[in-house]
Amino acid sequence: MTGLTKKNPDEMKPAILQLTMIGMLAGLSNSVAAPAVTRLNPPSALFTFGDATPPYISRFMVGQRFDLQATVKADAGKVITGAAFTVDGSPVTGTTTVTSIGGDRYNVVLRAYSSVAVGARTLTVLAQQDDGLTVAASGNFEIVGTTVQGRKAKNVIYLIGDGMSLAHRTAARIVSKGIAQGKAIEPLAMDTLPVTAILNTPSLNSIITDSAPGAACYSNGNKSNNGQEGVFPDDTTDKWDNPRVEHMGNYLARTQGKALGIVTTADVEDATPGSFSAHTQDRGAGTGICDMYLDEAVAKHNLRVLLGGGRKWFIPKGQPGSGRIDSLTASGADYVVPAELATGWGVPTGAQDPGRDLIADFVTAGFVYAADGTAMAAIPAGTTKLLGLFHTGNMDVSLDKIAERRGQPAVGTVATFPDQPLLEEMTDKALEVLNRNAQGFVLMVEGASIDKQAHNMDTERFVQDTIEFDRSVARCIAFQNANPDTLIIVTADHECAGVAIIGSSNVTNAQLVTRAALGGTDGVAGAINGAAGVATDGQTQLRSGVVNTYDSAAFPVYDNTTSGDGYPVTMDADRKMLIGYGANGDRYEDWLQNVQPNVNPAVRDTAGDFFIAGQATGAGVQSAVHTAADIPMSAGGRGSSLFGGTMDNTSVFFKVMQAVIGGAK
């Protein structure tokens, strides 16, 4: 099919249908209308563009379960009375349900299909209308097998630095390890991993992914639309009925008895943790995502460790700190899945239960619960199930947690949620608990606020959270040294904020503090007081007077030893490293550490009068955005030799599966 360029599926009617439509319209004068298939899942270029050739959009492991789904549009006033799926011409066994979804459209679904036939398979849906007219449409997918190659990985550790690309890593190395005469004094822990690859990150519907598809692809090998996790897009508004793809945790629990662990510094309902076990078209449906952790992940994925923030989803509605939502449709919604899905996947239907005490239910299911770092450190020896919720929302960032430990004034929400553990401490505890499972485990550790603070263009906080993340990588490498059958993958879900290390400060911190208050010397704050081409006070005081580039940037020096806790004594070192943002929102910049986190960058640091207009985001709270840049991946341990080169982010899943099932040399 030449002349057709591939575009976003939702923008383009299937080529075959278009031709059929044209044919039909031509023949209208002498024939009747016909039903049409407007969507066929799994997504494929065959269905959307008529292109049967690789790359196959959807790929699955041998035996990995996924749903078959089609949207069929009937003629006006007609009814779709039946439908069936075939693969390579053979009828698919199982229950196919046909549900009217309004607008003469019907949702046709067959749940939890799987195949052992390695290679490209052709999927066809056939639907019949009550007047006898039928319609068929085809797509394809690939079934991926494994080969026996050598010793297998028993444990898999994914470390995801949310939004972390090369520049974030480099900035963390400059600050935490130091550079002398051009050489890193010491590598980051992630630098010591022997294998490197480059990953493409687009989602199913955009070159710019968000964290849901950006992480889910590592957990199930497939793309999804932005904001969606563990599912393919469909045409219903129901958040919970989408065609599902089985997660690695579920698959390996079912086939090898492995345990699953999820650790994050974000709210545990957030996209990256949610993408390792939930199935929903709404990454924000927190009540349901957290209920699903117990109802499905504990029961089916052998979830044994869940650590992070997000306690609000676990507290009964009406009690202090609760965020549970009494709705199936609103933001933060609870979940109920269709009966046919529950039957097809062997999972509970769920319930709209705002009054549920989810912490109590986890404890009933055998979990030890910890609400702070001290409690987590003190869990009983031999614990095999651990739930730790250290904040009602996202945890505070490492810069602020460390300040608390150093006895400095509390900032952020540290005072309300004291004694939150650091990511490396949560990682240690997760490894200790998961390692008690004889069949091994899959662990996902997320450094979430690298992304959140890069969005906020808060340099000091995203850099320090990258350091916290790297210290967690170090803990995993130490674990791998003691447990050689462990595969470690360190990567990101996407790049955030277009981070660029532009140089260093030309002045001491004290001088910078002075300059940051000088901007308003003419008494008029803001960029508007500078005529075209005439520098504003801020541009004079804080840019041309401060930013050293090229050789005058030299080597910024940070003290990481005096603190004794492994973190920089201060991020406001003299002649500090300076960061620019290529995907920025509006902000005022004074290069100094912000006292408080999460302040709107457009109303922060105004005294310096150095306004930098953003390239993205409009009115309201300003935020830098994700970019489409490829991201780095580092791998070490058992099976890491399988990785390398440049590949699509979904390929990581299949290589991990090869390492676990077939082994590697």
Q: Which residues bind Zn ion (CB under 5 A)?
A: 451
The residue assigned the tokens 């080529």 is 15
- Find the shortest distance in angstroms from Cβ 393 to Zn ion: 16
The Cα angle at residue 470 between residues 466 and 472, in degrees rounded to 5 = 120
Cα dihedral 42, 78, 17, 96, rounded to 10, equals 20
Query: CA nearest 190: which of 555, 488, 431, 557?
Result: 488
- Find the shortest distance in angstroms from Cβ 177 to Zn ion: 26
The residue count of the chain comes to 665
- Find the shortest distance in angstroms from Cβ 226 to Zn ion: 11
**What CA–CA distance (Å, rounded) separates 273 from 392?**
15
- Find the shortest distance in angstroms from Cβ 625 to Zn ion: 8
- Find the shortest distance in angstroms from Cβ 492 to Zn ion: 10
Beta bridge partners of 160: 446, 491
The angle that helices 248-256 and 211-220 make with each other, rounded to 10 degrees, is: 20
Q: In sequence order, which residues have a C-beta less than 8 Å from that of residue 524 and are 6 or more positions away?
A: none
- Find the shortest distance in angstroms from Cβ 493 to Zn ion: 8
CB nearer Zn ion, residue 475 or residue 494: 494
CB nearer Zn ion, residue 449 or residue 539: 449
- Find the shortest distance in angstroms from Cβ 420 to Zn ion: 21
CB nearer Zn ion, residue 295 or residue 451: 451
CB nearer Zn ion, residue 161 or residue 608: 161
CB 503 within 8 A of CB 543: no
CB nearer Zn ion, residue 36 or residue 497: 497
- Find the shortest distance in angstroms from Cβ 627 to Zn ion: 10
- Find the shortest distance in angstroms from Cβ 412 to Zn ion: 19
Query: What 3-state DSSP class applies to 269?
Result: coil
Residue 194's CB is within 10 A of a number of other CB atoms, namely: 11
- DSSP symbol at 551: G
- Find the shortest distance in angstroms from Cβ 211 to Zn ion: 6
- Find the shortest distance in angstroms from Cβ 263 to Zn ion: 18
CB nearer Zn ion, residue 58 or residue 209: 209
CB 308 within 8 A of CB 268: yes
Residue nearest to Zn ion (CB): 451
CB nearer Zn ion, residue 246 or residue 451: 451
3-state secondary structure 168-221: HHHHHHHHHCCEECCEECCCCCHHHCCEEEEEECCCCCCCCCCHHHHHHHHHHC
**What CA–CA distance (Å, rounded) separates 341 from 346?**
8
CB nearer Zn ion, residue 404 or residue 630: 630
CB nearer Zn ion, residue 235 or residue 451: 451
**What CA–CA distance (Å, rounded) separates 509 from 112?**
60
**What CA–CA distance (Å, rounded) separates 614 from 588?**
10
CB nearer Zn ion, residue 451 or residue 589: 451
- Find the shortest distance in angstroms from Cβ 161 to Zn ion: 12
Query: What 3-state DSSP class applies to 300?
Result: helix
Query: What 3-state DSSP class applies to 251?
Result: helix
| Terminal CA-CA length for the chain | 41
Cα distances (angstroms) measured from residue 588 to each of 115, 542, 614: 55, 10, 10
Q: What is the DSSP code string of 19-85?
A: HHHHHHHHHGGGS----EEEEEES--HHHHHS--SSSPS-EEETT--EEEEEEEEPPTT--EEEEEE
CB nearer Zn ion, residue 464 or residue 658: 464
- Find the shortest distance in angstroms from Cβ 455 to Zn ion: 6
CB nearer Zn ion, residue 296 or residue 451: 451
| DSSP H or E run through 240 | none
CB nearer Zn ion, residue 96 or residue 623: 623
The residue assigned the tokens 């409690």 is 375
